[in-house]
Structures are given as structure tokens and as C-alpha cells.
Amino acid sequence: MKIQNLLIAFILFISFEVYSQPQFRNKINMPNILGYQTLKCDFHMHTIFSDGDVWPTYRVEEAWRDGLDAIAFTDHLEYQPHKDYVPSNHNAPFQIAKNFADELGITIIQGAEITRKMPPGHLNAIFVKDGNALIKDDWKAVIEEVKNQGGLVFWNHPSWIAQQPNGIAKWYPEHDWLLQTGIFFGLEVYNANVYSKETHQWCIDKNLAILGNSDVHGPLYFEWAAEKVAHRPITLVFAKNSKPESIKEALVNRRTVVWYDQQLIGDEKFLQAIFDSSVSINKKEFKMKRKDWTNFQITNDSDVEFELKLVADNFYVQFPKELKLFPNKTLNIGIRAKKDELAIKEKIEVQYEVKNLLVSPGKHLIKTFSFDFEFQKK
């Protein structure tokens, strides 16, 4: 007991020292779309109350610094390597962090990771009310308890090599049973830095929400600094507001997109809306003489770097074969007629593949741009 008290006192002291210093939030610039707020969320993380290395309030601080709007604590139910030093209370992470999260404006969702062998594998229960009531031998009984508490369940890292040695996700009859419960709503298409194309396709075929989460165990900046990417994988949730019940409604209705390493993964309507709300063109009508150059500008008002490749050209105007739209920047583009002696008025369409917007495995968003041209002879 003395060791346990000393450990907790030390963690609280360190937490006080951290929080007494000036803190800065990195705002994520992502457009609201289709009448919804775009919430930046991470629904899979661990603390010292299972196999994580940090105190619950530290996770809140990381989320605030990272520009997130909502997080879920999902410590393991069946695996607690620190239990000799930290009490086995599956409600503690949420209870410890709730007030601090409220102060910072972070929505915190109570959850737990149901940690079983395959099948069914590891499942996250979120929106639960009592984590301690989820301790049961039969995993199906745990799911029923989650349902009784009004919670939801998603499947973590289906392609995890510790449970699928070939790294290929496999669907089992147990997952068909989960679908019948009515609370199984989504799959982790991205877990940490691992993407699963099989899982992505299941989300489409089985009408499940596309999710991407960090599954962070150590201090976030220790784990992700080595990845040399701008941010952890997050789930963009399109909700009416940031209250838990609104987030829950959005998840049930599959209004999600995954964002990681400048890649967006989701349904075409959401990716199209993000692109259209982020990218604007200052000029779409042109009068041109012979092969003289003219210009227009494309502005990207988001934190996403869009990579475009020309896939459907036209007979009259020379457009760039590739474009890179840097975050929060404006690109000046030069165009000219392909032929000298043109004297026509024409609506011209060009199509670009947005290479980092993935609508299904191997298929990217196609964006059509329309322009009105009047070509005049000198």
C-alpha cells in the first residue's frame, strides 16, 4: 500500500508540474461539412490503469494539445500489468480525467477494451456507464452487458499480426453474431500506423463505420515523433455538436472519415464534401488568344495536403498533369491553348484523381473541374 501511495503521489506531482507550465493547442483546420461539425476524435487509448504508461489526465492534455475534440479511454479489462501498484478499477480513468477534460473542452467517453483471443479478438466498448460490470468470463455476456448499459462496440485492429500472423484480417462467425446485437457499429481501418484493406472493404460491404485510432500506450509524442508524420491517426466524426449523445448518433449512422499521414479514407460523399469545402478556384471564365498563357489560382483552406493527378484531359487547353495543394496555401497555375488557331466558345471539363483520398481499397476520389473558355484569333 505504501508503494502504491508513493507512486500515485509522484504521478500527481509530475502532473501538477506539467499543467503549471504554459500550454499551446495545435488547432486542426478541417471544414465543417453537410451541416455538421467536423469533430477530431481518438477512440482507442490506454493509461496506467492497464498497459499504458501515463496518468489519465495526461491523455486529456495530449488530446487538447493535438487539437482533438473527443477521446475515449479504453483500458484493457483482462490485462492489467500494473495491478500491484494501481487499483483494478475500470471506471477510474474516466472519473479521474472527467473534470479536467471539461475544463479544456474535451469530450471524454468512457470505454474499455474487451481483450480476448481470436475470435472475436479485441473489441472496444464505448459509451458504457460501469466498466467494472464488464468483468465476465463469457465474452458474449460482456457484449450483452455493454448493450444493457447503452454502449456501442467496435473491432480493434482486425489484421493485428499477434492474432493474424499473415497480417490479413479474417471475418469469423463470431463477428456475424456481433452484427446481430445491433451495437456493433464499426471497424478500425487504421490502427496506429497500420491500414487494412480487407477491413476497409468490410466497412463498405457490411455498412459499418470507418474508424482510425492511435491505440497509444506510451506518451503520445514519444510514439509518433518516430513516425515522422504530422499527427496520430484520428477519426473525423460529422456530428451536430460535441456532446457524447451527438457523437454516438453520428457513429451509429456511419458519418466518419479516417485521417492519417495526409490520407483521408471514407465514403465518397464525405470526401467530396471535405474537398469541395477546402478547395476554391478564383476564376473559371477565360478569354484567350492563340497559345498565350493565362492564370488562375487554387486555394486550399484546410490542413490536408491534396495530391492530384490528371486522368481525363480535353482537346483545347493544356492543364498540369499533377498538382499538389499544400495546406492553407494558394497555388498559381498557368494554362494555355493547345492549338494556335482556335476560335470557339467551349465549356471544358478536366478530371483529377485525388490520390490521397481513398473511397475504397485502391480507388481514389475523382474530382471534375469545369471552366468556360472563349478562344479568339489575333
pLDDT tens for residues 236-266?
A: 999 999 999 999 999 999 999 999 989 999 9
pLDDT score of 14: 52
Average pLDDT for 200-222: 96
Confidence band, pLDDT 50/70/90 cuts, at residue 68: very high
pLDDT score of 51: 93
Task: List, by residue range, all CATH 2.60.40.10 domains of the chain.
Answer: 279-376
pLDDT score of 230: 72
Report DSSP letters for 45-85, one per residue. Answer: B--TTTT-SS-HHHHHHHHHHTT-SEEEE--BSS--TTTTT
Average pLDDT across the chain, whole number: 92
What number does CATH give the domain 279-376? 2.60.40.10
pLDDT score of 48: 96
Which residues pair with residue 237 across a beta bridge? 39, 256
Average pLDDT for 202-226: 92
Average pLDDT for 128-137: 98
CB atoms within 10 A of CB 172: 13
Q: Is the pLDDT of residue 91 over 90?
A: yes
Q: Is the pLDDT of residue 15 over 60?
A: no
Average pLDDT for 48-53: 95
Is 2-261 a domain of CATH 3.20.20.140? yes
Q: Is the pLDDT of residue 89 over 90?
A: yes
pLDDT tens for residues 311-343?
A: 998 878 889 999 999 999 999 999 888 877 667
- Of 21-30, 206-215, 246-255, least confident by mean pLDDT is 21-30
pLDDT score of 239: 99
Q: Is the pLDDT of residue 145 over 90?
A: yes
pLDDT score of 316: 81
The DSSP symbol for 33 reads B
pLDDT, greater one: 215 or 88: 215
pLDDT score of 291: 72
Q: Is the pLDDT of residue 106 over 80?
A: yes
pLDDT score of 378: 63
Average pLDDT for 270-297: 91
pLDDT score of 6: 53
Confidence band, pLDDT 50/70/90 cuts, at residue 293: confident
pLDDT tens for residues 156-176?
A: 999 999 999 999 999 999 999
Q: Is the pLDDT of residue 18 over 90?
A: no
What percentage of the chain reaches a pLDDT higher than 70?
Answer: 91
pLDDT score of 218: 94
| Phi, psi values for residue 113, rounded to 5° | -100, 120
Task: List, by residue range, all CATH 3.20.20.140 domains of the chain.
Answer: 2-261
The CA-atom distances, in angstroms, between 162 and each of 103, 169, 234, 354, 365 are 38, 11, 23, 34, 33
Average pLDDT for 116-127: 98
